[in-house]
Amino acid sequence: MRIALILILFLIFMIPKEACAEDIAALEAQVKQLTQVVYSLKTTVDTQQQEIADLKKTYQIKYQTPTPQPASLATILPPKFTPEIGAVADVVAKLDSSKVDPENVNRVSVRELELVLGSNVDPYSRLDATIAFNDKNEIDLEEAYLTRFGLPFGTTARIGEFLPKIGKMVPVHRDSIDTVDEPFVIQRYFGDEGMHKAGVDLTKVLDLPLPSVHQVTVGVIEGGNGDGGTAFGPARRRPTLYGHLKNYIDITDVTNFELGVSEAVGSNDNDASFKTNVFGVDATLRHTIAQDKEIKLQGETFVLNRRESIDEFDATTNPSGDFWGGYGLFDVRLSSQWGAGFRFDYVEPVDRLLADPNKGEIGYTGYLTFYQSEFARLRAQLSHIYLTNGSIDDRVFLQGTFAIGEHKHKLQ
């Protein structure tokens, strides 16, 4: 402000003596106007400084560091002391023309309720468990395994009860598959829900100078099959060895392709020798059309070489001892809430009729899915099946799958 007054006085003294009275009056008016502007600016600056001081005070009150309190149990324990807990309910209504299993047709049931637990044990490992309850009042421990990260050579290990990485469908939980039931080849060879076994496996991502990703898994699990499976024998004390190679590549920004190769060897009786060899190939092609719109093509084939010790499966009645089966799946995500698809099945059951050893089971399945949200899903499915005994079975399913809490297998 002082500088402004000095400037005004300087201008006044610089005015020539010959200036007329009118010019002096006009200059005085301008000086008064300039003085008012200076005072207005000073008032604005003072107001802004006060506002800045008020904001600093508010910030300090809201974000100041709290006064240290005495240590308590809540502050000592890590944030993940309470494990992740979730539950998934699978409700199914089934209409079936088959007379083979009259107890499980034309009924509504809570097919399964999964209790899911999981948490990091420490910075190096994680524990996951899945306990399943069904409407037959049976309790099944599906998973209880420890994952150990950062092992030598960049490997990751699992030990405990888990779903082995054999093929594409066996390692997937039922609530994450695209249809109400598993493909026939999975049901017949490994079990109605695939199989879960106690064992240990190692997984490593191969560091190769290629634009694709390659992951290899090798493991050993206890012998036997899942519920209803026939590939291996009933003896659990004879181990099964398996390996899986997964190959993934992004073809374009919206299209990717995955190819997998699997092999499992084990025993089918009390003999310690490996008499069963299962070789599988799986392929998945995904193409994203737009947001929430996707097309998926998935197929999987298993070849089963099973040598029996008993006479009814000797070289006379079953020369090859080979069986095979597979499925092809076409799934379309129409929007964020609607999806539809079709599945074709073919499988040669191990316990097929010896009178017609070349006859397999054929199925055609169509389904429509409504995704109410990420945690609620409704599905309608129709299957038309040609059985090995020559009869035809039509099955209608209505399914509701609902999840609450933390669940790593989201309904997607």
Give residue-wise pLDDT tens across range 18-38: 545 666 677 677 767 777 766
The DSSP code for 369 is: E
Is 195 found in the same domain as 54?
no
pLDDT band, very low/low/confident/very high, at 276 (cuts 50, 70, 90)? confident
The mean pLDDT of 346-370, rounded to a whole number, is 81
Percent above pLDDT 70 for the chain: 76
Is 271 found in the same domain as 210?
yes
Is 55 found in the same domain as 193?
no
Q: Exposure pattern of 286-299 as b/e (b: 16+ CB <10 Å)?
A: bebeeeeebebebb
The mean pLDDT of 258-274, rounded to a whole number, is 83
**Lowest-pLDDT range, 96-110, 238-252, 254-268, 373-387?**
96-110
**Is there a domain that residue 160 lies in?**
no
**Is there a domain that residue 71 lies in?**
no
**Is there a domain that residue 128 lies in?**
no
**Is there a domain that residue 55 lies in?**
yes
Is 182 found in the same domain as 42?
no
The mean pLDDT of 141-159, rounded to a whole number, is 93
pTM for this prediction:
0.75
CA distance 123 to 65: 28
Is 386 found in the same domain as 244?
yes
The mean pLDDT of 10-25, rounded to a whole number, is 57
CA distances from 210 to 207, 246, 259 (A): 9, 14, 15
**Is there a domain that residue 410 lies in?**
no
Is 95 found in the same domain as 21?
no
Supply 96's token pair: 């079936």
Torsion sign, CA atoms 297, 188, 105, 358 = positive
Q: In this model, does residue 68 exceed pLDDT 60?
A: no
Query: Residues 90, 111: contact at Cβ < 8 Å?
Result: yes
Is 186 found in the same domain as 45?
no
pLDDT band, very low/low/confident/very high, at 14 (cuts 50, 70, 90)? low
Residue 143: the pLDDT is 93
Residue 157: the pLDDT is 96
Query: Residues 117, 156: contact at Cβ < 8 Å?
Result: no
The mean pLDDT of 283-300, rounded to a whole number, is 94
**Is there a domain that residue 78 lies in?**
no
The mean pLDDT of 285-300, rounded to a whole number, is 94
Task: Write the CATH number for 345.
Answer: 2.40.160
The mean pLDDT of 359-367, rounded to a whole number, is 93
Is 213 found in the same domain as 362?
yes
**Is there a domain that residue 124 lies in?**
no
pLDDT band, very low/low/confident/very high, at 56 (cuts 50, 70, 90)? low
**Is there a domain that residue 158 lies in?**
no
Closest C-alpha to 299, from 323, 324, 330, 339? 330
**Lowest-pLDDT range, 53-62, 136-145, 396-405?**
53-62
Is 98 found in the same domain as 46?
no
Give residue-wise pLDDT tens across range 158-210: 999 999 999 999 999 988 899 999 999 999 999 888 899 999 999 999 988 88
User: Which residues, in sequence order, are CB contacts of 220 under 8 Å at separation 6+?
Assistant: 199, 200, 201, 239, 240, 241, 242
Percent above pLDDT 90 for the chain: 48
User: Domain range for residue 24?
Assistant: 2-61
- Could you write out the DSSP letters of every residue in 15-62? S-TT--HHHHHHHHHHHHHHHHHHHHHHHHHHHHHHHHHHHHHHHHHH
pLDDT band, very low/low/confident/very high, at 65 (cuts 50, 70, 90)? very low
Is 98 found in the same domain as 18?
no
Higher pLDDT, 361 or 3: 361
CB atoms within 10 A of CB 177: 16
Query: Residues 236, 229: contact at Cβ < 8 Å?
Result: no
Is 313 found in the same domain as 248?
yes
CA distance 54 to 44: 16
**Lowest-pLDDT range, 39-53, 124-138, 177-191?**
39-53
Is 395 found in the same domain as 314?
yes
Give residue-wise pLDDT tens across range 69-112: 444 444 444 545 788 899 999 999 998 876 556 666 678 889 89
**Lowest-pLDDT range, 62-66, 111-115, 235-239?**
62-66
What total number of domains does the chain contain? 2
The mean pLDDT of 328-332, rounded to a whole number, is 97
Q: Which residues face 180 on adjacent strands? A: none
